[in-house]
């Protein structure tokens, strides 16, 4: 039963990732695309963790941590760019 729940969660996260890709491609404003990209990396982390649980392994945890760190740095850099127009002061 738990295996089916994990498969359903993986399918739902994949569907959510596809919807975020659509929002990023069709977003009317730049800020919509930034929010979609931010949500995409969060969904990618969840998908990697669910896949790791499905395989009963600990190998993918580092990849999820790297994606989380890079996503945070990217979001902060884009926010700073939109607020000030320059990333490095």
Per-residue pLDDT of the chain (89 residues; tens, 9 = 90+): 778 999 999 999 999 999 999 999 998 888 888 889 899 999 999 999 999 999 988 888 999 999 999 999 988 888 888 888 776 76
Global confidence as pTM = 0.83
Task: Count structural domains, the chain.
Answer: 1
CB 24 within 8 A of CB 36: yes
63 domain residue, yes or no = yes
Residue 51's domain comprises 2-84
Question: Would residue 89 count as lying in a domain?
Answer: no
**Could you tell me if 53 and 6 are in contact, meaning their C-beta atoms sit under 8 angstroms apart?**
yes
Flag whether 80 is in a domain.
Answer: yes
Q: For residue 89, give every residue at least 6 positions away whose Cβ sits within 8 Å of its Cβ, in sequence order, or none.
A: none
67, part of any domain: yes
């Amino acid at each position: 039963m738990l295996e089916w729940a994990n498969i359903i969660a993986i399918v739902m996260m994949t569907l959510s990732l596809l919807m975020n890709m659509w929002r990023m491609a069709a977003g009317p404003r730049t800020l919509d695309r930034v929010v979609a990209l931010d949500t995409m990396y969060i969904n990618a982390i969840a998908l990697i963790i669910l896949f790791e649980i499905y395989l009963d392994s600990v190998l993918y945890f580092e990849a999820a941590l790297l994606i989380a760190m890079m996503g945070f740095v990217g979001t902060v850099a884009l926010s700073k760019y939109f607020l000030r127009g320059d990333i490095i002061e």
